[in-house]
Amino acid sequence: MRKPLIAANWKMYKTPAQAEEYVKAFLPLVTGHDRDEIVLCPSDTSLGVVIPAVAGSNVAVGGQNMHWAEEGAYTGETSVLMLTAIGATHIIIGHSERRQYFNETDELVNKKLATALKHKLTPIVCIGEVLAEREAGHTDEVLRKQITLALVGVTPEDAENIVVAYEPVWAIGTGKTATPEMAAEAHLLIRSEIARRLGRHVADSIRILYGGSVKPDNAIALLNQPEIDGALVGGASLDPQSFAKIIKY
């Protein structure tokens, strides 16, 4: 059985003080909730307040991005060693905003994934098609290519901890969601591609999340799909009440 994972991607929102205030309001809303793994991904500047604030709770914390190198002359970047040293346990890799605005390529995604696995940081690898690709009927091809390139060099032993997030780019921050059936279809395709590369056993244990305008009122239909193993939530995770409602779908 795959334990669902529900992650908040706060993107470039919230100061450390706002993040701390959020955690104070949020923790009591999810106390004792054990059905799903819960992860908050604040900006790097808030990690240092969020991680101690959730200590001892059922909430884990991850970064939104990191460099593939363990250290080096890369001004402005954050390394895996920095993240693990302060207690981060998860990392979002290859979010579409990083691909779109920061030239993150499939090759970089692959290098970051290898680094995360080496250091036992649970990677949440984002893939998804843009609207033009969906409209041209290329969704399957795009997803196959992205997942294949992300997994280059990954062994079946390493792969079980990988989390994949299917995030159709046209659904991110737009209020448009994939229908539960559309999402389930994409998840099946991604899982079958993982099975082809790494074996059925690995494919069955990897969690595939859906992301793209998940809200309290559509979470239940999406998350009830057996193929959907959780959600990566942007906008609706910024408010503790709304994120808790999604978790308790």
Catalytically active residues are: 95, 167
Smaller CB separation from ligand PGA, 133 or 167: 167
DSSP 34-71: -SSEEEEE--HHHHHHHHHHHTTSSEEEEES---SSSS
Q: Smallest distance, Å, CB 56 to ligand PGA?
A: 27
Q: Smallest distance, Å, CB 214 to ligand PGA?
A: 5
The label of the residue with tokens 């954050």 reads 78
Q: Smallest distance, Å, CB 243 to ligand PGA?
A: 10
What are phi and psi for residue 114, nearest 5 degrees?
Answer: -60, -40
Q: What sign does the CA torsion over 135, 5, 12, 80 have?
A: negative
Q: What sign does the CA torsion over 52, 55, 58, 60 have?
A: positive
Q: Which residues contact ligand PGA by CB under 6 A? A: 9, 167, 172-173, 211-214, 232-236
Smaller CB separation from ligand PGA, 235 or 240: 235
Cα–Cα distance for residue pair 80/84, rounded to 1 Å:
6
SS3 245: helix
Q: Smallest distance, Å, CB 249 to ligand PGA?
A: 14
